[in-house]
Amino acid sequence: MRQLLSIPPTIVRNRRRRPQLPRYLTYIVTFSCNARCIMCDSWRKPSPNDLTIDEIDSIFSQLPQLDAVRLSGGEPFVRRDLLEIAHLAQDKLRPMFLHVTTNGFLTDRIVRFCEQRRKDIPLQLLISVDGLADKHNTIRGNPQAWNYVIKTLEALAPRRRELKLQLAVNQTIVDAEGAEHYRHLRDYLEPLDIRNHFVMAYDASATYSLETETDVAPTEIGQFTTFGDFSKQQLSDLFDDVERDLERYAFPERLAKRYYLEGIRNRLLGDKGQPNPKCVALSTHMRLLPNGEVPTCQFNTRSVGSLRDQSFEALWFGDEIADQRNWVHQCPGCWAECEVLPNAIYTGDLLAKSLRPSQLFGRQRKNGSPPIPKPTRKGLPILSHKAPRAEPRT
C-alpha cells in the first residue's frame, strides 16, 4: 500500500522532468535465444559476458525497492539460473509483481520455474505466439515452435490459481497475414481461457540491433514505421477487433490496453501522435542489459555506465546520465508498449485518459454503426491442442 501511495509524488516529479530513483526495472538477462525470429536480431547477438549470479546479487542490493521487475531476453529461460535471478529480485527489490516474457519453447523448464518460485508475489507470464501453426513457425524460425508453445500453454493454463500465475499470450503483428491470425488465434485460445494481447512490430529496435550504442528513436511526434506492410483497411479491421475484445478484460488491464490501442491507431490511421506521455526512461524506468550496462531506452542503446564496474549511486547521479536524460527530454516519443505503459503510469497520463468516456466505455463507432460481429471458428484450420513431448536443446 505504501508503494501505491508514493506514486502521486512520483507523477509530479516526472511531469516536472525531475530525475528520481527507478521504480520499474526491465532486465534483459541474456541476448541468447533458441528462436530465430524474423523481426528480431537478438539471436544473432553475442551474449558471452552475461552477469553472474553474484554480480546480479550485488547490483540488486544497491537498487531501491521497485514496483515491478520485468525479466526478458533473448529467451530468459535459456539461463538455467533464472529461478535464482527471480528469487534475488524478490528478496532484494521487493516488487509488487514479477513479469517474465518467454517464447515458450522450454516447457519443462518453464513449468519447473513456475512450480519452484516463491509465491509471495504474483507472476505475470507472457508467452509469445504470433499466429496459428505454420504462421507462428515461420515468424519464430522453428518448424516446431507452435508445438512447443502449445504444450507449454496447456501445461500451465489449468494450474494458474495453484501457481499464483497470470498467464497471457503476446502476439506480435508482423504483417497483414498476422493481423488476420489475431482473430483465429483468439478463438483457438478461448477454450484455454487465455487472451492474446496484440502489439505492432516496429521496423527497428536499438536494443536488438547488431550495432552497439545506436539510436533509432523517432525523429518527430507520432512517427511509427511498421515491420511489415498493411493497408489502412487491414489495420482498421484489426484495431476494431481488438477494441471489441477489450470489453472482456478486467478494468485496469482494459485501460492499459485501450491506451496502447488508441496511440497505435492514431499513429497509423489518424496521422497524429496522441497520446504522447513524457518519457520516464533513466528516471522511473531503468533498463539493464545482460552485461550490466544501463542503456538509455529501447530505441537508444547509448550506455550511461555499467553496474558491473561502478556503483548504482555513482551511475545514477553521474554526469554521463545527465546528458542522456537531456536527450530523453528532447525525444519526440515512441510507441513501443514496453516503454509506453511505464511512461503513461508514472506521468499520470494513463489515469487522466482513463477518465474520458471513450476509455471507460470503449471507442464510439462513427454514424452509429453496429459493432463488427465476432468472427466464428468456421473456416479455421483443424488443429490439435496436443503437442509432442520433444523439447529443443539448449
Cα-based torsion angle of the residue sequence 313, 317, 321, 323 in order, rounded to the nearest 10 degrees = -170
pLDDT value of position 382: 36
Q: What is the pLDDT of residues 106-116, one digit of tens each?
A: 999 999 999 99
Strands 285-288 and 196-200: unpaired
d(CA 39, CA 57): 33
pLDDT in tens, 86-100: 999 999 999 999 999
Lowest mean pLDDT: which of 5-19, 62-76, 171-185?
A: 5-19
Residue with cell 481488438: 242
Q: How far apart are CA 372 and CA 218, in angstroms?
A: 33
Contact between residue 392 and residue 105 where contact means Cβ atoms under 8 Å apart: yes
Residue closest to 117 by CA, chosen among 71, 163, 77: 163
> How confident is the model at residue 362, as a pLDDT?
55
pLDDT on residue 360: 52
Positive or negative torsion for Cα 276, 277, 281, 286: negative
Give the pLDDT confidence score for residue 378 in this predicted structure.
37
The backbone torsions φ and ψ at residue 231, rounded to the nearest 5 degrees and listed phi first, read -85, 160
Give me the count of residues in the chain: 394
Mean predicted confidence (pLDDT) in 297-313: 97
Alpha-carbon distance 55 to 303, whole Å? Answer: 18
Average pLDDT value over all residues in the chain: 91
First to last CA, the chain: 41
What is the pLDDT at residue 383? 41
Q: Coil, strand or helix: which one is 347?
A: coil
Q: What is the pLDDT of residue 47?
A: 82
Task: Identify the band that residue 351 occupies on the pLDDT scale cut at 50, 70 and 90.
Answer: very high
- Give the H or E element holding residue 76: none
pLDDT, residue 393, reads 42
Enumerate residues 6+ apart whose C-beta is below 8 A from 366: none
At residue 261, what is the residue type? L
User: Residue 369: is its pLDDT beyond 50?
Assistant: no
Q: From 55, 51, 69, 67, select the one nearest 3 (Cα to Cα).
A: 67
For residue 262, count other CB atoms closer than 10 A to its CB: 20
| Closest listed residue to residue 394, CA positions, set 153, 74, 135 | 74
pLDDT reported for residue 212: 86
Residue whose cell numbers read 535465444: 33
DSSP symbols for 231-280: -HHHHHHHHHHHHHHGGGS-HHHHHHHHHHHHHHHHHHHSS---S-PPP-
CA distance 322 to 107: 43
The answer to whether the beta carbons of residues 95 and 108 sit under 8 Å apart is no
Please determine, for residue 320, whether its predicted confidence score (pLDDT) is greater than 70.
yes
- 153, 127 Cβ separation under 8 angstroms: yes
Rg of the chain on CA atoms, in Å: 20
Q: One-letter amino acid identity for 143? A: P
d(CA 129, CA 196): 8
pLDDT of residue 5: 83
Query: What is the pLDDT averaged over residues 54-77?
Result: 98
pLDDT at 276 (0 to 100): 97
